[in-house]
């Protein structure tokens, strides 16, 4: 699908990923429309109806989500499930009712079962329940994928579902609700260096393996999938490479120039220590693969943070 001059409704367009995506849509000559949750509450059907009437989109890319870090997920499982299911269901339903040419739903690797062998393939999605603290969020995303597949069967609706891994990169949010491991590490090491500390304490499970993807690469994957992928089967978006959290911390330490020692304070065990997605399908189906290495991405992230340090900390 040619994106030039297409009217593209981007929910969550002001988010970390959304800003990168909107920029790339502009480069393609598309006409993206973004809005705030104060303007349109996507959990409210009347608001969603008004949004579609006001924008009349040809393509909908659905990024909007109620999510956060471990603490937020642990404290808000019920509201998080409700909010995500309502947003996902209404946005996709009105995309169908208003004859949108394509709906692009953004899922999450947290949808995958807690106990599943890596590399994780798309067909593993329903092989078990998501891990406990991701259960409501992950299940809500699975439901969105199911809606896409069933709408394709019944209505011939062109809906796709992409499953990205943990994202990182410049211009991330300093909202504590949204903080992820790489931004947290970058801040800790830069502050420790600025304060002249000789050591830094890190909390968590250092032996777990996780996969990370540079946010710009993810935005590019969404663009390519929107242009060239029309199947309802979900598709993984990741680097295809995982890293031990202990080694990740060492790489962030190196990128920030901190010379002190790392003291690990283990706070929990990890039931799924090895997580990495099988990502060959994305390259096969629409010619996408990750370009930015972790080292390059960390360098860009640290450089951005150093430039924006004062403004970032004052928010």
Block residue for tokens 């890190």: 202
> 181 and 248 in contact (C-beta within 8 Å)?
yes
Active site residue 305: no
What is the pLDDT at residue 315? 47
Question: Mean pLDDT per segment of 10 residues, for the chain of length 315 residues?
Answer: 98 97 98 96 98 99 94 94 99 99 98 94 97 95 98 98 97 66 92 95 89 98 99 98 96 96 78 82 98 98 86 52
Superfamily of domain 7-167+213-240+275-291, CATH level 4: NAD(P)-binding Rossmann-like Domain (3.40.50.720)
> 79 and 177 in contact (C-beta within 8 Å)?
no
Q: Which two tokens stand for residue 263?
A: 């003291």
DSSP 214: E
Per residue in 168-209, pLDDT (tens digit) is: 999 987 664 456 889 989 999 999 999 999 999 998 888 889
Which residue in 170, 200, 197, 203 sits closest to 306, CA to CA? 170
Which residue in 126, 263, 284, 264 sits closest to 197, CA to CA? 263
What is the pLDDT at residue 69? 84
What is the pLDDT at residue 313? 53
Q: Which two tokens stand for residue 192?
A: 């420790």
Residues with Cβ within 8 Å of residue 145, at least 6 apart in sequence:
105, 107, 111, 125, 161, 234
For residue 35, what are the CA distances in angstroms to 15, 48, 101, 205?
Answer: 11, 12, 21, 38
What is the pLDDT at residue 271? 54
What is the pLDDT at residue 272? 58
Block residue for tokens 């972790």: 294
Residue in 20, 72, 112, 137 annotated catalytic:
137
What is the pLDDT at residue 311? 58
How far is 62 from 16, CA to CA, in rounded Å? Answer: 14
Positions of E strands within 54-165: 59-62, 102-106, 159-164
How far is 107 from 221, CA to CA, in rounded Å? Answer: 13
The ranges assigned to domains in the chain are 7-167+213-240+275-291
What is the pLDDT at residue 312? 54
What is the pLDDT at residue 176? 47
Q: Taking the mean position of all CA atoms in its chain, how far away is CA 16?
A: 9
Q: Taking the mean position of all CA atoms in its chain, how far away is CA 185?
A: 18
How far is 57 from 185, CA to CA, in rounded Å? Answer: 39
What is the pLDDT at residue 270? 57
How far is 155 from 28, CA to CA, in rounded Å? Answer: 29
CB atoms within 10 A of CB 139: 17
How far is 306 from 289, CA to CA, in rounded Å? Answer: 29
> 276 and 120 in contact (C-beta within 8 Å)?
yes
């Amino acid at each position: 699908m040619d994106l030039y001059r297409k009217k593209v409704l981007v929910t969550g367009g002001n988010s970390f990923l959304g800003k990168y995506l909107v920029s790339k849509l502009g480069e393609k000559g598309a006409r993206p429309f973004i809005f705030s949750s104060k303007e349109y509450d996507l959990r409210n059907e009347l608001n969603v109806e008004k949004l579609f009437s006001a924008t009349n989109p040809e393509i909908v890319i659905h990024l909007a989500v109620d999510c956060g870090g471990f603490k937020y997920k642990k404290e808000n499982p019920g509201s998080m499930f409700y909010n995500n299911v309502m947003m996902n269901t209404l946005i996709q339903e009105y995309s169908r009712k208003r004859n949108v040419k394509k709906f692009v739903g953004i899922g999450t690797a947290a949808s995958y079962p807690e106990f599943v062998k890596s590399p994780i393939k798309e067909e593993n999605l329903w092989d078990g329940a998501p891990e406990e603290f991701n259960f409501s969020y992950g299940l809500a995303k699975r439901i969105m994928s199911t809606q896409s597949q069933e709408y394709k069967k019944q209505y011939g609706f062109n809906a796709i579902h992409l499953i990205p891994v943990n994202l990182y990169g410049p211009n991330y949010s300093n909202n504590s609700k949204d903080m992820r491991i790489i931004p947290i590490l970058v801040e800790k090491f830069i502050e420790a260096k600025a304060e002249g500390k000789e050591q830094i304490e890190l909390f968590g499970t250092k032996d777990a393996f996780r996969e990370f993807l540079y946010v710009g690469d993810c935005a590019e994957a969404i663009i390519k999938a929107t242009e060239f992928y029309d199947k309802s089967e979900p598709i993984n978006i990741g680097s295809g490479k995982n890293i031990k959290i202990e080694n990740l911390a060492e790489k962030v330490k190196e990128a920030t120039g901190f010379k002190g020692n790392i003291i690990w304070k283990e706070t929990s065990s990890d039931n799924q220590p090895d997580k990495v997605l099988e990502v060959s399908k994305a390259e096969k189906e629409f010619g996408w693969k990750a370009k930015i290495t972790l080292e390059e991405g960390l360098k860009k992230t640290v450089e951005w943070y150093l430039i924006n340090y004062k403004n970032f900390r004052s928010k």
